[in-house]
């Protein structure tokens, strides 16, 4: 017979938190939310909170639910980052947070956000200069270095592209994430190998020579390469 009541035990506080990235006009942004509850009421922090064990089917779903509540849109990519745990990170007691990093196209959320005071995208370097709630500074730092790594060996940055985009759009996103320029030719070779983009019968006419428009193929897994791109020192 199973006899177990969680209320008989002293258990940690368990939460989820997400670092939602988006690229816009030359800067890599993360979503911050102004807290209107204790602890750290009034401070900026990551979107997240408790699992609703009666309605959520997983921690991932809880994290996505929190992002949807704040932005009105689903992230295009979301993965576990790391679990941070300590008796000190929350004044209420021993706390564990499962953090995620996620990506979304800026265009998918920009309009909704402009009307909400307490939710905003902010340049990641600016965010890291602020006094944030909990250990969210550390979480953002780890998420940043994770997506920078991913940018070197995967197509994951493609998940913050809008529906239609050019190769230059994609190159810009990677360069903004890395903070360094890369070889266009190398990128194109990788995109071809990944087979993740499909060309549309459309061109973008903003520059001089029109640029081929692409979209992400449907139902495809993020491609991982065998090698990292090399960053020139």
Partner DNA sequence: CCAATAGTGTCTTTTAGACAGTATCAC
Partner DNA sequence: GTGATACTGTCTAAAAGACACTATTGG
- Catalytic residue numbers read 117
Question: How many residues bind to its own copies according to rule CB under 8 A?
Answer: 38
Contact present, 201 and 233 (Cβ < 8 Å):
no
Distance CA 207, CA 72 (A): 32
Which region, judged by CB under 7 A, interacts with DNA, from 35-43, 51-59, 183-191, 215-223? 183-191
Q: How far is the CB of 23 from DNA (least distance, A)?
A: 16
Among 62, 108, 144, 182, binds DNA (CB under 7 A): 182
Q: Which is nearer to its own copies, 10 or 205 (CB)?
A: 10
- Mask for 129-168, x = binds DNA (CB under 7 A): -------------------------------------xxx
Q: Crossing angle for the helix pair 136-153 and 167-178, nearest 10 degrees?
A: 130
Which region, judged by CB under 8 A, interacts with its own copies, from 27-35, 200-208, 214-222, 223-231? 223-231
Peptide bond into 39 cis (omega under 30): yes
Closest CA to 132 of 32, 22, 38, 30: 32
Contact present, 112 and 71 (Cβ < 8 Å):
yes
Distance CA 71, CA 58 (A): 20
Q: How far is the CB of 75 from its own copies (least distance, A)?
A: 18
- Give yes or no for residue 212 binding DNA (CB under 7 A): yes
- Give yes or no for residue 185 binding DNA (CB under 7 A): yes
Which region, judged by CB under 7 A, interacts with DNA, from 9-17, 71-79, 93-101, 222-230? 222-230
Residues 6+ apart with CB under 8 A from 118: 33, 34, 36
């Amino acid at each position: 017979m199973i006899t177990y009541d969680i209320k008989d035990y002293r258990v940690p506080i368990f939460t989820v938190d997400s670092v939602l990235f988006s690229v816009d006009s030359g800067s890599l942004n993360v979503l911050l939310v102004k807290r209107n509850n204790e602890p750290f009421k009034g401070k900026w922090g990551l979107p997240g909170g408790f699992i609703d064990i009666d309605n959520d089917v997983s921690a991932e779903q809880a994290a996505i639910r929190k992002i949807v509540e704040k932005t009105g849109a689903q992230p295009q990519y979301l993965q576990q980052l790391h679990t941070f745990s300590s008796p000190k990170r929350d004044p209420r007691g021993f706390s564990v947070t499962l953090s995620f990093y996620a990506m979304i196209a800026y265009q998918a959320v920009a309009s909704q956000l402009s009307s909400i005071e307490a939710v905003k995208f902010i340049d990641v370097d600016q965010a890291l200069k602020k006094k944030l709630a909990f250990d969210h500074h550390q979480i953002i730092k780890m998420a940043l270095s994770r997506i920078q790594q991913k940018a070197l060996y995967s197509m994951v940055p493609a998940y913050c592209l809008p529906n239609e985009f050019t190769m230059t759009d994609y190159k810009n996103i990677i360069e903004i994430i890395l903070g360094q320029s890369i070889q266009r030719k190398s990128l194109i070779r990788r995109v071809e190998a990944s087979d993740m983009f499909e060309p549309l019968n459309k061109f973008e006419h903003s520059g001089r020579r029109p640029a081929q428009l692409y979209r992400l193929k449907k139902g495809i897994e993020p491609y991982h390469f065998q090698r990292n791109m090399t960053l020139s020192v």
